[in-house]
Chain A
Amino acid sequence: EAGVAQSPRYKIIEKRQSVAFWCNPISGHATLYWYQQILGQGPKLLIQFQNNGVVDDSQLPKDRFSAERLKGVDSTLKIQPAKLEDSAVYLCASSTLGRADTEAFFGQGTRLTVV
């Protein structure tokens, strides 16, 4: 079974530029998560989708971050404009259900460096 695919693996941009990340979850997984992991910290949830609807985006900085999951499969996360503090690993995860006791599967992450 293929895992969660993310691209690109690495991205370096200048501050105030825009960037987009892509995630393809495991086939059949209805729930998709985007996490931000700053160096030395645990991941922090940015947004959770159930199919193509947003379940939780309370920690998404909506003035600069946006995410969509068209057709309930692939998802993109965009940052516009980027700030230095956005340097982090962006992880995508998926699970069959959005239940608290459901195992989530993670992608390799996209390491973003803003200079």
Chain B
Amino acid sequence: KNEVEQSPQNLTAQEGEFITINCSYSVGISALHWLQQHPGGGIVSLFMLSSGKKKHGRLIATINIQEKHSSLHITASHPRDSAVYICAVPINAGGTSYGKLTFGQGTILTVHP
């Protein structure tokens, strides 16, 4: 079983729709990252959160630490939101304070006008 599971793997929406992408993880973490990757481009960090909810523009991220689950919501979706959205969690290695990110496989979002 992967340590980080995302769903759905592919998501197609019409402009204006409300979108939800889910992320489940299997280990205890101190923070969860949501990232955005455009075709041919690098990765941009959207959120880092350890509890509750964060909002930035039309993007909202929530996390439930007890249930080991996080969601990324996009309100009033737009074609420019089309990208791969990746959930990542730090998996501490060897009990040190240094972490490394374990990434989900990504959700490919396509928003049609």
B-contacting residues of A (Cβ < 8 Å)?
4, 6, 31, 33, 40-45, 48, 50, 55-56, 58, 91, 93, 98-109, 111
Contact = CB atoms under 8 A, between A and B. Distances in A.
Contact of B101 (A104, A105, A111): A104
Given A45-B101, A50-B98, A55-B98, A100 B92 contact: yes
B52 interface: no
25 contacts: A33-B100, A40-B105, A41-B105, A42-B4, A42-B86, A43-B86, A43-B103, A44-B103, A50-B98, A55-B96, A58-B93, A91-B42, A91-B43, A93-B43, A99-B97, A99-B99, A100-B31, A101-B31, A101-B99, A104-B33, A105-B45, A106-B35, A106-B43, A106-B44, A107-B42
B93 A56 contact: yes
B45 A101 contact: no
B48 interface: yes
B31 to A, nearest CB: 4
Given A41-B105, A56-B93, A100 B30 contact: yes
